[in-house]
């Protein structure tokens, strides 16, 4: 097999230089961290490429800070920009559309790039390509929990305000409407900062029987703290998680999010090695690989009774441990 021809990046005096890659990610988001680790792991495995990924973080949803970072990226003449998450991706896309950024751009960690304006409705991709995960209706979670736990009545869903530019809240409202069909009341609880999460959850303990932590919402330490409250108040904890945690979670929905980062590496290779333009690279859709884990010990701690017949009927998609 022939080795790929590495695209040459020249300094003004004609000397070769390493391609500079700007990697933009929100800080303290487990979803983003897993995507980034998948990308960096592939980069480290190919030292012959001599790529230079430079990570730009933003802890709070500060669009002004992100725009300042984009100015730095333009001034320092990066060769590729990669974003993780809806907010960063929309900021970069704005610079691409305004012709302020002329280097290739790859987005990831976005549920619907058309709805939030990263890609125009006509599907044109001038300067932009990306990778997304196959989406399934968020309402399936209500159907699933109603089947395996028939006495579920009051559900609390904490989440960060403006997650996915407000589109997460839209999906959560659809989930609440589906729960209502099973006579289950849902409290959607937006929080502003990390410090708000546990005190806000605590105020609802004693009047709920289930907590759902949406995909990519909280770091492991917060999930552990919530799981301790669930054990104390006998509340079922359901969580989407992407990282190892000591939390006791009755039902976990997990995915190999690092695959997104690995796909970013492959797309970056097509641009930096093969010399392709983003418009020549179709948006990559990874298949949904969600797994469901039922933790028996956590169910006992949280005094959760699950329907064994339902679990048996669904056993092809559930891991019981």
CA dist., res. 216 & res. 85, Å (int): 10
Under 8 Å between Cβ of 157 and 211? yes
Burial class (CB in 10 A: 0-12, 13-18, 19+), 52: middle
| CA distance linking residue 293 with residue 251, whole number of Å | 6
pLDDT at 293: 85
Residues β-bridged to residue 318? 292
Q: In this model, does residue 214 exceed pLDDT 60?
A: yes
How crowded is the C-beta side of 12, counted as CA atoms within 13 Å? 1
Percent of the chain with pLDDT over 70: 87
Query: Which whole number is the average pLDDT over 251-264?
Result: 87
Would the CA dihedral through 132, 136, 139, 142 be positive or negative?
negative
CA-based nearest residue to 154, from 209, 100, 109: 209
219: nearest Cα among 243, 189, 250, 238:
243
Q: What is the pTM of this model?
A: 0.81
Helix/strand number for the chain, H first, E second: 10, 13
By CB atoms closer than 10 A (0-12, 13-18, 19+), residue 91 is buried
Specify the higher pLDDT residue, 58 or 89.
89
Q: What is the pLDDT of residues 146-174, one digit of tens each?
A: 888 889 999 999 988 767 667 788 889 99
* Contact by Cβ (8 Å): 152, 238: no
pLDDT at 83 over 70: yes
The Cα–Cα gap between 238 and 175 comes to 14
Strand ordering across the sheet containing 318-320: 185-191, 154-160, 210-213, 236-241, 251-254, 291-294, 318-320
Instruction: State which H helix or E strand residue 178 sits in.
Output: helix 167-180
Q: How confident is the model at residue 69 (pLDDT cuts 50, 70, 90)?
A: very high
Res 1: pLDDT: 42
Computed over every residue of the chain, the mean pLDDT equals 85
Q: What is the rounded CA–CA span in Å between residue 269 and residue 123? A: 23
In percent, the amount of the chain with pLDDT more than 90 equals 45
Q: Please compute, for residue 235, the number of CA atoms within 13 A of its CA located in the half-sphere on the CB side.
A: 27
Task: Measure the CA–CA gap between 32 and 260, rounded to whole angstroms.
Answer: 10
Return the CA Rg of the chain: 22
- Per-residue confidence at 23, pLDDT binned at 50, 70, 90? very high
Domains and CATH numbers, the chain: 20-135+257-286 (3.40.50.2300), 140-255+290-320 (3.40.50.2300)
């Amino acid at each position: 097999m022939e080795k790929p021809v590495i695209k040459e990046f020249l300094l003004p005096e004609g000397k070769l230089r390493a391609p500079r890659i700007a990697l933009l990610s929100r800080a303290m988001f487990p979803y983003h961290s897993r995507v980034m680790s998948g990308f960096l792991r592939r980069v480290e495995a190919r030292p012959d490429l001599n790529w230079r990924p430079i990570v730009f973080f933003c802890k709070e949803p500060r669009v002004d800070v992100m725009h300042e970072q984009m100015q730095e990226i333009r001034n320092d003449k990066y060769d590729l920009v990669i974003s993780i998450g809806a907010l960063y991706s929309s900021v970069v896309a704005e610079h691409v559309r305004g012709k302020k950024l002329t280097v290739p751009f790859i987005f990831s960690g976005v549920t619907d790039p058309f709805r939030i304006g990263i890609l125009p409705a006509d599907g044109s991709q001038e300067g932009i390509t990306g990778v997304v995960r196959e989406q399934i209706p968020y309402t399936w979670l209500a159907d699933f929990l109603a089947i395996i736990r028939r006495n579920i009545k009051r559900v609390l869903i904490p989440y960060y305000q403006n997650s996915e530019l407000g589109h997460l809240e839209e999906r959560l409202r659809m989930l609440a409407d589906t729960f209502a069909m099973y006579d289950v009341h849902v409290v959607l609880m937006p929080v502003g900062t990390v410090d708000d999460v546990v005190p806000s959850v605590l105020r609802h303990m004693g009047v709920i029987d289930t907590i759902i932590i949406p995909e990519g919402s909280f770091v492991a330490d917060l999930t552990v703290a919530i799981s301790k409250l669930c054990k104390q108040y006998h509340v079922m904890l359901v969580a989407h998680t992407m990282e190892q945690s000591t939390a006791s979670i009755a039902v976990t929905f997990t995915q190999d999010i690092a695959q997104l980062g690995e796909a970013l590496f492959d797309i970056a290779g097509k641009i930096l090695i093969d010399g392709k333009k983003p418009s020549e690279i179709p948006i990559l859709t990874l298949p949904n690989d969600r797994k469901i884990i039922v933790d028996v010990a956590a169910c006992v701690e949280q005094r959760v009774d699950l329907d064994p017949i339902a679990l048996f009927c669904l056993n092809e998609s559930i891991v019981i441990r």
